[in-house]
Chains A and B, each alone.
Chain A
């Protein structure tokens, strides 16, 4: 008899763990961007369709596999067919890559959190230059929040070739982040189960507080109207549908093995069908909820910047023409501009290059995603609120909880197969295995704390998981439906959840989802091939903005390695098992 497998204390812990894992930073920083780019309120239509067609079935599939096989990803796929152990290994490899770079985000969140305890916030104003006569040059060209992100936090180098030194401040924050993750996972489900209560629920409290605060901000309505105004013509754009599918796919965290790992700690008769529906619904509604908050913040920031721009223009004109204070207001600015053009045409023409045309639409149009949204746009909005320290602390704690929640899932995906393996678990205790994994990840993660680290981060973020996951989930679906047998799986599920499987799931698993994934896969490949050389955004300190550069050849090699390392595991695994069986057969026939 085996040692009994650790279990979740109650099904609620399992649901919370999955929610905590699925609801991550992508819900906050990717979905609002997609919403803005692909049709505002209209984007919800493809999003919900994809949720029902792709998200729920695939999530149910993974949870069912994990709960039935009661093993981590490697063991589970080995049970389905020995030739598929490569799938499990590929999942572990992708999870490993993900955990290497994902915790750096938590390190940044810690950095900003620690800096939130100052008055005024350090990103609220530019630092002074060396002789104290003005502000720092780089900061003048860009804004103080961008300066704080690119210079004070990342200390970014001008290109990926210039590696620079390890930033010790970021390095210690990364070590702290890994220690925190270790603390949460070192006892396995016993400790993880308690931690996910906090990591799953705290972000919602903060989002509600921010929703109330955001909706009461001046100008928030502008952002909301802008976001929810549906641009139905975007529905005809294929990119809209592809991005909806991609977002659902990656947002649920399919294919990493984390869901299989979490489900493997369930009671055998847990109703994973109901849980799958609940988790996917909660994940999507959190995305929509977070985008409401984000857009009210956007609206506030855009209105604030717009009004600032107008005030600057007013001040410039007032000073240049020595008009009475208060003669120019936001309302009469345009008519006064015409008056000045006619009365002093020469002087006005000389001044013209300096006057920027202020437009609220242009401010709202600046769609940002990723770390730019989370760390620059939000901190810019926060610094203009009253009691900014409180909101800043709340916001970065929320980011931390979201990030740690996802990290728990990632590390579970790596550790569950390792602790399931008899060889490793007899020699090392659970704490030792967790410690070694955290330590290795931390050391590799120090690469991302170098001056060029953010560029490597972007490489990992864009390429480490995208193609490989699509392939992994495709193989998973085909394996369950056709290799293991849909009828057999249906019978197992009937035993587990107690009622007959709905025909909807069967159709989705057998036809719809594989077709969808194949089309996504084909689209990505053609997109990569069509764009030719890959490019990245580098920060130019002299101009104070991002410029596009080409990746050097060794960076392209790393990208290729990342993709190959995980995808090749699948055929390699099958091949090796085939060879081993061949050898064993030869040995046994010889005897």
Chain B
């Protein structure tokens, strides 16, 4: 009797060993980086944590398939290393000694990734399922890009400044023209004094010969060429 039990037990163990091997079919490698994630608050990885892991995977399978057939004993872990990495498979309790297809396990884990991560206080980066790529969440895009908003603000400020300066320049020039037309006198303005000669503004006496400083440019023309 004892012998039969031992035989059955060893057969089961052997079967399990066959099912859960590195690179076995439908097996996944898991890697945890607890110290990286939690630093001083890191917990030690022991048998209870393994039990929790099995429970979470079973929970994920149950949620995914909506049947309540997966038991904790269906999840097999093997090749535990110091890294804290190991392989696991999920066996199918209904069919004897076979594993659940990898695609199902992958889909189940994906669906419940957040729950599994939070059970261990880890993230997608620190609790890695090596063949299951996590869907990265895209950054939140506001409806109007931020840069356009800042750009429009600056553009409006600059535009307003230009408009103000141009209009005030036009107004000043119109005032200048009006006043010089009325008085016809010399008026001292800050930027453009209008000089007069005999009461007539020199701008009107705009003769070419009268305005070029002939000292330098006409130097060689004053003398008869040889």
List the interface of chain A (C-beta within 8 A of B).
Answer: 1-4, 6, 78-80, 82, 110-111, 113-115, 117-118, 128, 132-135, 172-173, 176, 179-180, 182-183, 186-187, 190-191, 318-319, 322-327, 422, 426, 429, 431, 585
Tell me whether A322 and B36 are in contact in the complex, defined as CB-CB below 8 angstroms, given that A79-B216, A183-B165 are known contacts: no
Q: Name the B residues within 8 Å of A322 (CB-CB).
A: 81-83, 85
Given known A4-B193, A318-B83, contact A431–B36 (CB-CB < 8 A): no
Evaluate whether A128 and B136 lie within 8 angstroms (CB atoms) in the complex, with A4-B192, A6-B191, A114-B147 already known.
yes
Q: Are B151 and A114 in contact (CB under 8 A)?
A: yes
Question: Cβ of A133: which chain B residues have Cβ within 8 Å of it?
Answer: 133, 135-136
A110 to B150, CA, bound (A): 10
Partner of A187, one of B82, B146, B169: B169
**Which of B69-77, B99-107, B152-160 lies at the interface with chain A?**
B152-160
CA distance A114 to B148 in the complex (A): 8
What is the minimal beta-carbon distance from A248 to any residue of chain B, in angstroms?
Answer: 32
- Determine the chain B residues whose CB is within 8 A of the CB of A4 once the complex forms: 192-193, 195
Q: Tell whether B52 is near chain A: CB-to-CB under 8 Å.
A: no
B202 touches A1 (CB 8 A): yes
Question: Please, which residue of chain B has its CB at the minimum distance from the CB of A82?
Answer: B217
Of B135, B146, B165, the residue contacting A132 (CB under 8 A) is B135
Contact of A111 among B36, B138, B147 (CB under 8 A): B147
A585 vs B224: C-alpha distance in the bound complex, in angstroms?
10
Separation of A1 and B151 alpha carbons in the complex (Å): 47
B33–A325 contact, CB under 8 A? yes
Q: Are B138 and A132 in contact (CB under 8 A)?
A: yes
Shortest CB distance A310–B (Å): 15
B211 within 8 A of A: yes
Contact A186 B217 (CB under 8 A): no
Q: Which residues in B have some Cβ–Cβ distance to A below 8 Å? A: 31, 33-36, 81-85, 133, 135-138, 146-148, 150-151, 154-155, 158-159, 161-162, 165-166, 169, 173, 191-195, 197, 202-203, 206, 208, 211, 213, 216-217, 225
Q: A325–B211 contact, CB under 8 A?
A: no
Contact between A325 and B195 (Cβ–Cβ < 8 Å)? no
What are 8 A-B contacts with C-beta separation under 8 Å?
A79-B216, A128-B138, A132-B136, A172-B151, A319-B31, A323-B83, A325-B36, A431-B169
Known interface pairs A133-B136, A319-B83, A422-B211; 11 further A-B residue pairs with C-beta atoms within 8 A, sorted by A's residue number: A115-B146, A132-B135, A173-B151, A186-B166, A187-B169, A323-B82, A323-B83, A324-B82, A326-B35, A422-B208, A431-B169
In the complex, the chain A residue whose C-beta lies closest to that of B138 is A128
Q: Is the CB of B161 within 8 A of A183?
A: yes
Residues of B within 8 A of A3 (CB): 192-195, 203
Q: Which residue on chain B has the smallest CB distance to residue A120?
A: B139
Bound together, the chains give a CA A115 to CA B147 distance in angstroms of: 5
Which of A80, A326, A431 gathers the greatest number of chain B CB atoms within 10 Å? Answer: A431
Minimum C-beta distance from B145 to chain A (A): 9
Smallest Cβ-Cβ distance to B160: which chain A residue: A183
Given contacts A191-B165, A322-B85, contact A183 B158 (CB under 8 A): yes
Once the chains bind, are A426 and B206 in contact (CB under 8 Å)? yes
* A117 and B33 form a contact (CB under 8 A): no
CA distance A324 to B84 in the complex (A): 7
Select one of A1, A115, A182, A191 contacting B195, CB under 8 A: A1
Q: Report yes or no: A114 in contact with B136, Cβ–Cβ below 8 A.
A: no
Q: When A128-B136, A176-B155, A323-B83 are in contact, do A2 and B211 touch as well, CB less than 8 Å?
A: yes
- Out of A114, A134, A172, A180, which one reaches B150, CB within 8 Å? A114
B43 to chain A, nearest CB (A): 13
Give A172 to B81 CA distance when docked, in angstroms.
58
- Rounded to whole Å, the gap between the CB of A555 and the closest CB of chain B is 32
Min CB–CB distance A329 → chain B (angstroms)? 12
List the A side residues contacting B217 at CB < 8 Å.
Answer: 78-79, 82
From A117, A135, A186, A429, contact of B147 by CB (8 A): A117
User: Which of the residues A111, A118, A128, A324 comes within 8 Å of B146, measured between beta carbons?
Assistant: A118
Q: How far is the CA of A80 from the CA of B215 in the complex (A)?
A: 11
Contact A179 B158 (CB under 8 A): yes
The minimal Cβ–Cβ distance linking A394 to chain B, given in whole angstroms, is 15
Q: Given the complex, which residues of B lie within 8 Å of A325, measured CB to CB?
A: 33-36, 83-84
Expressed in whole angstroms, the Cα–Cα distance for A179 and B156 within the complex equals 11
**A322 CA to B86 CA, complexed, in Å:** 10
CA separation between A135 and B139, bound complex, in Å?
12
State whether B202 touches A182 (Cβ < 8 A).
no
Q: Which residues of A contact B213 (CB under 8 A)?
A: 79
User: What residues of A have a CB within 8 angstroms of the CB of B206 in the complex?
Assistant: 426
Given A325-B84, A422-B211, check contact A134 B147 (CB 8 Å): no
Q: Which 7 A-B pairs have the closest CB atoms?
A: A114-B147, A322-B81, A324-B82, A322-B83, A325-B35, A114-B150, A1-B195
A133 CB, nearest partner CB in chain B, Å: 5
CB distance from A6 to the nearest CB of B (A): 6
Cα of A323 to Cα of B197 in the assembled complex, Å: 98
Shortest distance between the CB of A267 and any CB in chain B (Å): 16
Chain A nearest CB: distance from B211 CB in Å?
6
Interchain CA distance A191-B159 in the complex, whole Å = 15
B162 touches A429 (CB 8 A): no
Query: Are A186 and B165 touching (Cβ within 8 A)?
Result: yes
Which chain A residue has the least Cβ–Cβ distance from B137?
Answer: A132
Docked complex Cα distance between A180 and B155 (Å): 9
Nearest CB on A from B153, distance (A):
10
Bound CA–CA A132/B139 (angstroms): 11
Residues of A within 8 A of B83 (CB): 318-319, 322-325
Closest Cβ neighbor of B161 among chain A residues:
A183
State A172–B216 Cα separation when bound (angstroms). Answer: 47
Question: Please, which residue of chain A has its CB at the minimum distance from the CB of B162?
Answer: A183
* B147 surroundings in chain A (CB, below 8 A): 111, 114-115, 117-118
Find out whether the CB atom of B225 lies under 8 angstroms from the CB atom of A585: yes
B162 touches A182 (CB 8 A): yes
In the assembled complex, the Cα of A319 lies from the Cα of B36 at a distance in Å of 13
CB distance from A75 to the nearest CB of B (A): 10
Residues of B within 8 A of A324 (CB): 82-83
In Å, the complex CA distance between A318 and B206 comes to 88
Expressed in whole angstroms, the Cα–Cα distance for A325 and B82 within the complex equals 8
Q: What residues of A have a CB within 8 angstroms of the CB of B173 in the complex?
A: 429
Which residues of chain B are near A431, meaning CB under 8 Å? Answer: 165-166, 169
A190 to B165, CA, bound (A): 11
Bound Cα distance A111, B197 (Å): 55
Q: Which residue of A lies closest to B168 (CB)?
A: A187
